[in-house]
């Protein structure tokens, strides 16, 4: 399906926004209660992970568990991911994005990650050779995303079946225990890849007059 251009300059900063340093990081979008974020940061002490979660209840649970475990390379963020990414991240800053079991948006396909204009902006924040891991228990979701990668985004990817004993997120555990097929796409940004946002610098908390945004 055709993709409109994302209007990054129209994004309002999240409430209580705080800027971050321009250094290599990994980002998990929709981190939930933080199971994957805590596992990843504990097993990758050399990497800095920012885990973004919009739902307050889940964010508080992640924050509480992080306080217990205390990984100093993990930073939980309570925000909507789209405006946070626009206002916080620098071009080619991110080593890895994780989008694990996102809302499949059954009634609004245009809001699925690879159908959104925002996905182009997300790619501009990814370093050359960096990856995006997209996981789902819905075969149709993965199949559609795979086709978008081929037809629209023109990006290399690997499609994998997730092992039955994997336990990265609470959703993943539940789905695998039910015997559902869980799959992931690992998308790589090649050296030759360019977007219309490669020179777009973060807004760092700036806001514009209120207007309706079509993501």
Token look-up 């994957």 returns 36
pLDDT of residue 60: 97
- Residue 36 CA: distances (Å) to CA of 46, 86, 167, 173, 198: 16, 23, 8, 11, 29
pLDDT of residue 211: 28
b/e 40-58 (16+ beta carbons within 10 angstroms → b): bbeeeeeebbbbbbbeeeb
Sketch the domain layout of the chain as residue ranges.
Answer: 23-89, 104-194
pLDDT of residue 196: 94
Structure tokens at 202: 């973060």
b/e 152-168 (16+ beta carbons within 10 angstroms → b): ebebebeeeebeeeeeb
| pLDDT, one tens digit for every residue, the chain (215 residues) | 556 788 877 888 888 888 888 999 999 999 999 999 999 999 999 999 999 999 999 999 999 999 999 999 999 999 999 999 999 999 999 999 999 999 999 999 999 999 999 999 999 999 999 999 999 999 999 999 999 999 999 999 999 999 999 999 999 999 999 999 999 999 999 999 999 999 999 877 554 333 232 33
What DSSP letter does each residue of 133-160 carry, written as one string?
EEEES-HHHHHHHHHHIIIII---EEEE
Domain 23-89 has CATH 3.30.70.380: no
What is the torsional sign of CA 160, 162, 163, 169? positive
pLDDT of residue 205: 58
Q: What is the pTM of this model?
A: 0.91
pLDDT of residue 204: 72
> What gap in Å lies between CA 127 and CA 188, rounded to an integer?
9
């Amino acid at each position: 399906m055709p993709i409109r251009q994302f209007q990054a300059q129209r994004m309002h900063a999240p409430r209580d926004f705080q800027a971050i340093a321009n250094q290599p990081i990994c980002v998990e979008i929709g981190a939930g209660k933080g199971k994957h974020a805590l596992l990843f940061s504990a097993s990758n002490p050399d990497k800095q992970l920012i885990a973004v979660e919009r739902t307050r209840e889940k964010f508080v649970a992640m924050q509480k568990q992080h306080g217990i475990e205390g990984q100093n390379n993990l930073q939980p963020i309570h925000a909507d991911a789209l405006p946070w990414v626009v206002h916080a991240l620098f071009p080619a800053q991110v080593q890895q994005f994780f989008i694990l079991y996102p809302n499949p948006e059954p009634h609004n396909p245009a809001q699925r990650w690879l159908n959104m204009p925002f996905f182009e902006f997300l790619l501009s924040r990814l370093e050359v050779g960096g990856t995006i891991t997209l996981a789902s228990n819905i075969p149709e979701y993965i199949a559609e995303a795979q086709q978008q990668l081929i037809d629209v985004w023109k990006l290399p990817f690997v499609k994998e079946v997730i092992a039955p004993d994997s336990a990265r997120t609470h959703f993943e555990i539940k789905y695998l225990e039910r015997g559902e097929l869980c799959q992931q796409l690992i998308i790589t940004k090649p050296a030759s890849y360019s977007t219309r946002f490669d020179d777009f610098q973060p807004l760092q908390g700036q806001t514009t007059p209120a207007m309706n945004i079509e993501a």
